[in-house]
Structure 1
């Protein structure tokens, strides 16, 4: 118990995604969990970054380490990961066309987006958002 093994059989429960977990990243597995986290972010005045990815996606895996590091570096933000295969209705709702896709959400509304495993762009947009949310006397 507590160990994750990859699954190749269709009739088994979804496999854990160890490459997407760690740091301060919350893996979203249900629509209720998604709604709860967005509500929490709004209540706490946090910006949420939603990483729509897939366990089979090489670029998703390659950027996951950076995403986890960013979650530890920026505790003022909420980091979420959604597997497009586990929550296809959420992926459709957000019109995800490629993985990974990162949405930056404020009060549940999209304020920015990065499509693809573009590490410099993800860091740049995240830094800009963090800087824009720091009160003047804390910069």
Structure 2
């Protein structure tokens, strides 16, 4: 149900700090925010601590088949739950962030409110993720 997450050989190479790669037309209309820069992610995460809005962080990788299975689900949830912020982080690009959140399997969905982890779902578990989003989205 999930892919093992391990450090790829290229993980020690330095990654660009600015700018995501060019987005496909489908990605431009997405309500899911993708971060490719550690600096931008840190700034966004720090700012989110002031809000009580639920944040769902999707830790995935381009090579992860189960992650690709969940992509349309996350897109659907982001359109349905407009009061929830959906974030996508690639573990190969932001491996340190994945480590900070204890990500060991892909995909992993971490639910955060005010900078605090309130729940977590690993694997291709649409219904479980939906139930946890509904449970935490209105909690204050």
TM-score range, shorter chain: 0.7 to 0.9
Question: For residues 42-61 of structure 1, what are the alpha-carbon distances to aligned partners after superposition, in whole Å with 9 as ceiling and x for unaligned?
Answer: 33321111110010111100
Pair 46,16 (structure 1): closer, same or farther in 2 beyond 3 Å: same
Give TM-score scaled by structure 2 length: 0.76
Query: 2 CA distance for matches of 1:15 and 1:104?
Result: 26
Aligned length: 122
Tell me the CA shift for residue 124 of structure 1: 1.0
Question: For residues 26-80 of structure 1, what are the alpha-carbon distances to aligned partners after superposition, in whole Å with 9 as ceiling and x for unaligned?
Answer: 1111222222222333333211111100101111001110101111111211110
Say if 2:80 is the partner of 1:60: no
Say if 2:43 is the partner of 1:36: yes
Q: What 5-or-longer segments of structure 2 have no aligned partner?
A: 1-9, 11-15
| Greater CA drift, 35-44 or 119-128 | 35-44
Pair 38,15 (structure 1): closer, same or farther in 2 beyond 3 Å: closer
Per the alignment, in what secondary structure is the counterpart of residue 30 of structure 2? coil
Q: Which runs of 4+ in 1 moved over 4 A?
A: 13-18
Say if 2:68 is the partner of 1:46: no
Residues 1-139 of structure 1 mapped to structure 2, 5 A cutoff: 21=27, 22-133=29-140
The higher radius of gyration belongs to 1
Query: 1 CA distance for matches of 2:22 and 2:70?
Result: 18
Contact 2:78-2:84 within 8 A present in 1 as well = yes
